[in-house]
């Protein structure tokens, strides 16, 4: 359609009627019944632009919103979550207690550390638990099976491997192994030395994926 | 409507227009008076920028008060009245039925303008509030909301009683504006005037309101007129119209979230400014679609469409500039300089007011049944006001650019910076003088066109050509 000339500046001529203006534009929006199925798809390039703007907005928000914290006024503040955890000193006894009681050690040894008479050896005042670090680390890392004598009583059961070794269902890091051992050695009146992560790492490197230990093997280690 | 004309002109000028004539001309007349008042005040404030002694001894016209008076007369006097007239008319035309409850509209108009007048006296005598776009003293603010509601009733009835289920972008924008101003104003009144929130929250609420007035009230009113006039005059289907609803909702949802961009670097949590930056970026989609939709204005002829073309360019360009200057690194340079003023003028004068002018030029001959009284004044107003606003924007942008560079240099004394800006302030005063003259022409032209109260002449048949049906695009 050609635009009719609008020569008089005092009157703007209308080219189209209101009814057709409504009808044609409503048709474009596709909200009118369209029996001939002539709906058009939205142009992709504009959708891409819109999506691009939303993507930019989301990314920018994530980077500069200061975690929506009302106390953060500097938009350039980097997330401090990871650093804070690494920097804060961790009490191995607290971590160890959590690990011990989290459906791991306490299932057999009980939260009291007394074990089950005749089946599971106690940890309280046990010459093994408070004994040489070399032995307890190996027990927790690789597990233990076969007969063992604790506090004069004989037991014969199996303990699974907890360390990050082959066949372990727990895959505890050296940190966790050290923490849980420290807890066991300093809880319930036990007063043995703490176990360090370095020591655990050293033994794990030395023994690799050893199969579960027996009491006999362990007694040979000083 | 027993005498509804069936002649050739019936499709273009009907009882819808003649019935709404007096109430809408009342709104428009009030708007134009306030526009001239605001123009006088704009001239005074801009003279004070380079000659600070001007009217400095007159307490009513000290710079702070004069600036608040200018802004208030412009927003609540000119833009509100004009925008409401356009919105009501567009809703009536597209609704296909004469406006109802026009008595309410007339009473609302009288009380609205009385409220604005009392408010201006209040500002002049020292009762102004300290919030941008919201300086009216609190004792008139509730009256304004009620009066606005009375005017809006007509528009809402026209919308709810429309003859077809089909709707068009103009109607969405008009109805949104009718509903959103009372919400913005009443919410802002509660948190800023009646039960003021404390500290930083006030700055936040104020920023929200300022941007809300722009994005949820003035811009929709202007777009309601532009979306109507452009296809009517150009006779073409709007391209990319499928995206118009998305563009509309982007503006309504995201618009007021841009309020925090005034608070970049301010004492607010980082996420508020970041949210505003992101919202400004998302709004780019709205500006893009408005530009694409209404680009058919470029090929069309007519006084109204020429204004709308200018308004559209300023609107889209202003939106892009808002997006760019909201980023912190750039806001550091542009905040608190004339560039902020330039952006505001670009939005409310270059964008909204120009689109209002365009819609008014299209609308008034249909209301009065006569062409505009003077072709010379019509063309004169258009040439003068567009060139005046262009020069004003250039002076503010260039002056602001110089100012922003020098303000960041601590070695340059403030007095020197103002000295360097003097030429741009002078240019701004000249521009304001031209704009004032242009708008006086507009007011005179309007009075001559509207005040001869005779029924629609028989010559409307010859005045308006019979419009044809819009052809659907070939898909």
Residue ranges making up the domain that contains B257: 178-354
Nearest CB to B303; choose among A12, A53, A61: A12
Percent of chain B with pLDDT over 90: 79
Which chain A residue lies closest to B163 (C-alpha atoms)? A19
More confident residue, A185 or B431: B431
Residue ranges making up the domain that contains A52: 18-64
Residues A101 and A178 both lie in one domain: yes
Q: pLDDT-based confidence at B180, cuts 50/70/90?
A: very high
pTM: 0.78
Phi, psi of A144 (to 5 degrees): -150, 140
> Any idea what the Cα angle at residue B165 is, between residues B159 and B169, rounded to 5°?
65
Of A29-43, A142-156, B356-370, the range with the lowest mean pLDDT is A29-43
| Cβ–Cβ < 8 Å for B157, B100 | yes
- Please report whether residue B72 resides in a domain: yes
Predicted ipTM of the assembly: 0.87
Which pLDDT score, from 0 to 100, does residue A32 have?
56
- Please report whether residue A79 resides in a domain: no
Query: What's the sign of the alpha-carbon dihedral B118, B123, B129, B131?
Result: positive
Which pLDDT score, from 0 to 100, does residue A82 have?
52
Please judge whether A15 and B468 are an interchain contact, meaning their C-beta atoms are less than 8 angstroms apart: yes
Please judge whether B273 and A75 are an interchain contact, meaning their C-beta atoms are less than 8 angstroms apart: yes
Which chain B residue lies closest to A38 (C-alpha atoms)? B475
Which pLDDT score, from 0 to 100, does residue B10 have?
46
Task: Provide mean pLDDT across the span B111-137.
Answer: 95
Which chain B residue lies closest to A5 (C-alpha atoms)? B301
- Please report whether residue A71 resides in a domain: no
- Please report whether residue A77 resides in a domain: no
Chain A residues with beta carbon closer than 8 angstroms to that of B248? none
Residues B37 and B66 both lie in one domain: yes
Length of chain B: 475
User: Which CATH number fits the domain that encloses residue B312?
Assistant: 1.20.210.10
Task: Provide mean pLDDT across the span A181-191.
Answer: 86
Please judge whether B96 and A24 are an interchain contact, meaning their C-beta atoms are less than 8 angstroms apart: no
| Cβ–Cβ < 8 Å for B332, B265 | yes
Residues B217 and B344 both lie in one domain: yes
What is the pLDDT of chain B when averaged over all its residues? 91
- Please report whether residue A37 resides in a domain: yes
Rg for chain A, CA atoms, rounded: 36
Please judge whether B469 and A20 are an interchain contact, meaning their C-beta atoms are less than 8 angstroms apart: yes
Instruction: Quote the tokens at residue B357.
Output: 């002018």
Q: What is the pLDDT of residues B384-401, one digit of tens each?
A: 999 999 999 999 999 999
Q: pLDDT-based confidence at A124, cuts 50/70/90?
A: confident
**A59 and chain B: CB distance < 8 Å anywhere?**
no
Residues B245 and B105 both lie in one domain: no
Which pLDDT score, from 0 to 100, does residue B165 have?
87
What residues contact residue B435 under an 8 Å CB cut-off, 6+ apart? B39, B42, B384, B385, B388, B389, B392
Q: How many other CB atoms sit within 10 Å of the CB of residue B374?
A: 17
Half-sphere exposure of B411 (CA within 13 A, CB side): 0
- Distance of alpha carbon B282 from alpha carbon A61, whole angstroms: 12
Q: What is the pLDDT of residues B128-164, one digit of tens each?
A: 999 999 999 999 999 999 999 999 999 999 999 999 8
Task: Provide mean pLDDT across the span B96-119.
Answer: 95
Residues B329 and B211 both lie in one domain: yes
Q: How many other CB atoms sit within 10 Å of the CB of residue B124?
A: 18
Of A52-66, A123-137, B332-346, B424-438, the range with the lowest mean pLDDT is A123-137
Nearest CB to B371; choose among A8, A73, A75: A8
Which pLDDT score, from 0 to 100, does residue B48 have?
94
Residues A189 and A144 both lie in one domain: yes
Q: How many other CB atoms sit within 10 Å of the CB of residue B203?
A: 19
**Element spanning A51, H or E:** helix A44-64
Closest CA to B176 of B238, B102, B87, B112: B87
More confident residue, A166 or B225: B225
- Please report whether residue A119 resides in a domain: yes
Residues A124 and A191 both lie in one domain: yes
- Distance of alpha carbon B304 from alpha carbon B231, whole angstroms: 12
More confident residue, B420 or B466: B420
Nearest CB to B467; choose among A15, A26, A75: A15
- Please report whether residue B316 resides in a domain: yes
User: Which CATH number fits the domain that encloses residue A128?
Assistant: 1.10.760.10
Q: What is the pLDDT of residues A32-48, one digit of tens each?
A: 565 666 656 677 888 89
Which pLDDT score, from 0 to 100, does residue A140 have?
86
- Please report whether residue A200 resides in a domain: yes
Residues A159 and A58 both lie in one domain: no
Residues B262 and B189 both lie in one domain: yes
- Please report whether residue B147 resides in a domain: yes
- Distance of alpha carbon B383 from alpha carbon A64, whole angstroms: 46
More confident residue, B209 or A67: B209
Residues B294 and B380 both lie in one domain: no
Please judge whether B237 and A24 are an interchain contact, meaning their C-beta atoms are less than 8 angstroms apart: yes
Q: How many other CB atoms sit within 10 Å of the CB of residue A133?
A: 18
Please judge whether B270 and A77 are an interchain contact, meaning their C-beta atoms are less than 8 angstroms apart: yes
Chain A residues with beta carbon closer than 8 angstroms to that of B281? 53, 56-57, 60
Which pLDDT score, from 0 to 100, does residue B2 have?
37
Total domains in chain B come to 3
Q: What is the pLDDT of residues B32-85, one digit of tens each?
A: 999 999 999 999 999 999 998 998 889 999 999 999 999 999 999 999 999 999
Total domains in chain A come to 2
Tell which phi-psi region holds residue A103, choosing left (phi > 0), alpha (psi between -120 and 50) or beta. left
| Residue B5 in this model has a pLDDT that exceeds 90 | no
- Distance of alpha carbon B388 from alpha carbon B431, whole angstroms: 5
**A10 and chain B: CB distance < 8 Å anywhere?**
yes
Q: pLDDT-based confidence at B15, cuts 50/70/90?
A: confident
Task: Provide mean pLDDT across the span B180-189.
Answer: 96
Phi, psi of A16 (to 5 degrees): -135, 160
Q: pLDDT-based confidence at A87, cuts 50/70/90?
A: low
Please judge whether B242 and A30 are an interchain contact, meaning their C-beta atoms are less than 8 angstroms apart: yes
Q: What is the DSSP string of A157-203?
A: EEE---BSSTT-SS-B-HHHHHHHHHHHHHSTT--PPP--HHHHHHH
Half-sphere exposure of B217 (CA within 13 A, CB side): 25
- Please report whether residue B110 resides in a domain: yes
- Which of A 38-57 lie inside 8 A of B, CB atoms? 38, 40, 42-43, 46, 49-50, 53-54, 56-57
Residues B338 and B193 both lie in one domain: yes
| Cβ–Cβ < 8 Å for B142, B60 | no
More confident residue, B245 or A29: B245
Phi, psi of B303 (to 5 degrees): -60, -50
- Please report whether residue A208 resides in a domain: yes
Task: Provide mean pLDDT across the span B2-19.
Answer: 60
Residues A54 and A99 both lie in one domain: no
Buried b (16+ CB within 10 A) or exposed e, B54-71: bbeeeeebebebbbbbbb
Which pLDDT score, from 0 to 100, does residue B191 have?
95
Percent of chain A with pLDDT over 70: 86
Which pLDDT score, from 0 to 100, does residue B416 have?
92
Residues A29 and A118 both lie in one domain: no
Residues B329 and B382 both lie in one domain: no
Beta bridge partners of B83: none
Phi, psi of A187 (to 5 degrees): -105, 165
Residues B201 and B254 both lie in one domain: yes
Which pLDDT score, from 0 to 100, does residue A31 have?
63
Percent of chain B with pLDDT over 70: 95
Which pLDDT score, from 0 to 100, does residue A39 have?
58
| Residue A3 in this model has a pLDDT that exceeds 80 | no
- Please report whether residue B221 resides in a domain: yes
- Which of A 73-112 lie inside 8 A of B, CB atoms? 73-75, 77
| Cβ–Cβ < 8 Å for A117, A128 | no
Please judge whether A17 and B168 are an interchain contact, meaning their C-beta atoms are less than 8 angstroms apart: no
Q: pLDDT-based confidence at B9, cuts 50/70/90?
A: very low
- Distance of alpha carbon B202 from alpha carbon B213, whole angstroms: 16
> Any idea what the Cα angle at residue B86 is, between residues B84 and B89, rounded to 5°?
105
- Distance of alpha carbon B148 from alpha carbon B87, whole angstroms: 13
Residues A184 and A138 both lie in one domain: yes
Which pLDDT score, from 0 to 100, does residue A215 have?
82
Residues A99 and A45 both lie in one domain: no
Q: pLDDT-based confidence at A178, cuts 50/70/90?
A: confident
Nearest CB to B302; choose among A6, A32, A74: A6
- Please report whether residue A6 resides in a domain: no
| Residue B453 in this model has a pLDDT that exceeds 60 | no
Residues A29 and A134 both lie in one domain: no
- Of B301, B321, B354, the residue that ends a domain is B354
Residues B385 and B310 both lie in one domain: no
What residues contact residue A217 under an 8 Å CB cut-off, 6+ apart? none
- Please report whether residue B171 resides in a domain: no
Please judge whether B300 and A6 are an interchain contact, meaning their C-beta atoms are less than 8 angstroms apart: yes
| Residue A108 in this model has a pLDDT that exceeds 70 | yes
Residues A97 and A180 both lie in one domain: yes
> Hey, of B169, B267, B269, which one would you mutate to test binding to chain A, going by the most A CBs within 10 A of its CB?
B269
- Of B100, B134, B166, the residue that ends a domain is B166
């Amino acid at each position: 359609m050609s635009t009719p000339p609008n020569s008089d500046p005092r009157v703007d001529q209308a080219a189209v009627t209101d009814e057709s203006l409504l009808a044609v534009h409503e048709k474009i929006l596709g909200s009118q019944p369209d029996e001939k199925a002539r709906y058009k798809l939205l142009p992709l390039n504009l959708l891409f632009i819109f999506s691009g703007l939303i993507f930019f907005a989301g990314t920018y928000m994530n980077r500069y919103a200061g975690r929506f914290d009302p106390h953060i006024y500097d938009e350039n503040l980097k997330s401090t979550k990871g650093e804070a955890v690494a920097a804060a000193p961790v009490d191995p006894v607290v971590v160890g207690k959590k690990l011990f009681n989290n459906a791991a050690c306490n299932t057999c040894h009980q939260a009291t550390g007394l074990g089950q008479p005749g089946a599971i050896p106690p940890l309280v005042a046990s010459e093994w638990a408070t004994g040489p670090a070399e032995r307890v680390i190996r027990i927790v890392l690789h597990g233990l099976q076969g007969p063992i004598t604790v506090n004069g009583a004989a037991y014969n059961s199996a303990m699974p491997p907890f360390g990050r070794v082959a066949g372990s269902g727990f895959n505890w890091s050296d940190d966790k192994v050290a923490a849980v051992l420290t807890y066991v050695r300093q809880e319930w009146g036990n007063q043995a030395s703490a176990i360090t992560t370095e020591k655990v790492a050293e033994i794990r490197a030395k023994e690799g994926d050893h199969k579960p230990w027996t009491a006999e093997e362990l007694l040979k280690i000083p | 409507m027993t005498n509804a004309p069936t002649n050739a002109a019936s499709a273009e000028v009907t009882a819808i227009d003649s019935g709404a004539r007096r109430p809408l001309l009342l709104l428009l007349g009030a708007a134009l008076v306030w526009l001239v008042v605001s123009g006088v005040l704009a001239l005074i404030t801009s003279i004070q920028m380079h000659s600070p002694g001007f009217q400095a001894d007159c307490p009513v016209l000290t710079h702070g008060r004069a600036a608040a008076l200018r802004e208030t007369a412009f927003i609540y006097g000119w833009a509100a009245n004009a925008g409401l007239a356009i919105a009501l008319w567009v809703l009536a035309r597209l609704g296909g039925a004469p406006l109802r409850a026009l008595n309410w509209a007339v009473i609302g108009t009288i009380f609205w303008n009385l409220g604005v007048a009392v408010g201006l006296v209040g500002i002049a005598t020292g009762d102004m509030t300290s919030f941008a776009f919201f300086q009216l003293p609190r004792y008139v603010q509730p009256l304004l909301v009620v009066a606005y509601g009375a005017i809006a009733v007509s528009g809402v009835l026209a919308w709810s009683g429309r003859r077809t289920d089909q709707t068009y972008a103009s109607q969405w924008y008009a109805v949104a504006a009718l509903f959103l101003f009372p919400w913005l104003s009443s919410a802002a009144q509660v948190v800023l005037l009646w039960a003021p929130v404390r500290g930083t929250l006030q700055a936040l609420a104020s920023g929200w309101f300022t941007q809300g007035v722009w994005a949820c009230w003035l811009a929709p009113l202007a777009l309601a007129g532009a979306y109507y006039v452009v296809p009517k005059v150009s006779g073409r289907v709007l391209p990319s119209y499928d995206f118009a609803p998305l563009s509309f909702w982007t503006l309504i949802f995201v618009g007021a979230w841009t309020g925090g961009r005034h608070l970049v670097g301010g004492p607010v949590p980082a996420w508020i400014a970041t949210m505003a930056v992101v919202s400004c970026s998302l709004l780019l989609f709205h500006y893009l679609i408005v530009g694409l939709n209404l680009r058919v204005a470029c090929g069309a002829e007519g006084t109204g469409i020429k204004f709308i073309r200018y308004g559209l360019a300023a609107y889209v360009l202003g939106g892009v500039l808002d997006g760019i200057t909201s980023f912190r690194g750039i806001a550091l340079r542009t905040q608190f300089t004339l560039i902020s003023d330039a952006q505001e003028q670009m939005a409310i004068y270059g964008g909204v007011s120009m689109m209002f002018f365009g819609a008014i030029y299209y609308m008034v001959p249909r209301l009065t049944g006569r062409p505009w009284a003077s072709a010379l004044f019509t063309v004169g107003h258009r040439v003068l006001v567009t060139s005046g606003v262009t020069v004003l924007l250039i002076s503010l942008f260039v002056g602001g650019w110089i100012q922003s560079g020098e303000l960041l240099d601590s070695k340059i004394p403030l007095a020197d910076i103002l000295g360097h800006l003097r030429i741009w302030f002078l240019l701004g005063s000249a521009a304001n003088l031209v704009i004032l003259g242009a708008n006086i022409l507009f007011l005179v032209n309007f009075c001559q066109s509207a005040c001869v109260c005779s029924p629609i002449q028989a010559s409307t048949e010859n005045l308006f050509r019979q419009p044809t049906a819009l052809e659907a695009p070939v898909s």
